[in-house]
Amino acid sequence: MNGLIGKKIPTFCLLDDQGNTITQKDFVGHWTVLYAYPKDSTPGCTTEACDFRDNWNRVKALGAQVYGISKDNQKSHQNFITKQALPFNLLSDPDKSLLTPLGSFGKKIMYGKEVEGIIRSTFLVDPKGVIRHAWPKVSVKGHVEDVLKILKDLQAEGVS
């Protein structure tokens, strides 16, 4: 996953919760936080989504946009967004066409067993579509604060 740092985000074409087609071109022109999460409306995923929601004004103040991505379908995403009042869009990747090249899908340990699934991870993409930072195997607590700190640091360094 860290081998992606400094490379363009992979080419993709996915639908968001509203049925809009989103591609890597939608990341150009502003900073983008793309976070991969296992499943809508589960405890850890809800906590993470709500943390991004609760820090939305800080994210926007830094000129960034947020997208969540999971294998869940459009209807599931719509319900999750409505229930949690999320101010950002969620991407549906049922075929793992972006999750896999990002290293966000694969083997992981869950409840002591090895399973295959979405690996909670986050990517910070610059306005040119280049991945500038990656968080593999995210721990939810304090994660959004760390994303905001790295975003501020990169902007202060003049990375764009």
Q: pLDDT by residue (tens digit) across 45-65?
A: 999 999 999 999 999 999 999
| Residue 31: C-alpha distances to residues 34, 60, 92, 131, 148 (Å) | 10, 10, 20, 10, 11
| Alpha helix (H) residue ranges in the chain | 43-54, 56-61, 74-84, 143-156
Closest-CA residue to 123 (of 111, 132, 112): 132
| HSE value, Cβ hemisphere, 13 Å, CA-based, for 122 | 23
Question: Is residue 1 pLDDT above 80, yes or no?
Answer: no
pTM of the model: 0.94
Bridge-based pairing of strands 64-70 and 89-92 is parallel
Q: pLDDT by residue (tens digit) across 75-121?
A: 999 999 999 999 999 999 999 999 999 999 988 777 788 888 999 99
The yes-or-no answer on residue 45 being catalytic is: yes
Q: What percent of the chain has pLDDT over 70?
A: 99
Ordered by start, the domain boundaries in the chain are 2-152
Per annotation, catalytic residue among 15, 33, 45, 86: 45
* Greatest alpha-carbon span in the chain: 43
CATH match for 2-152 among 3.40.50.300, 3.40.30.10, 3.40.350.10, 3.30.70.1140: 3.40.30.10
Cβ(64)–Cβ(147) below 8 Å: no
Cβ(151)–Cβ(66) below 8 Å: no
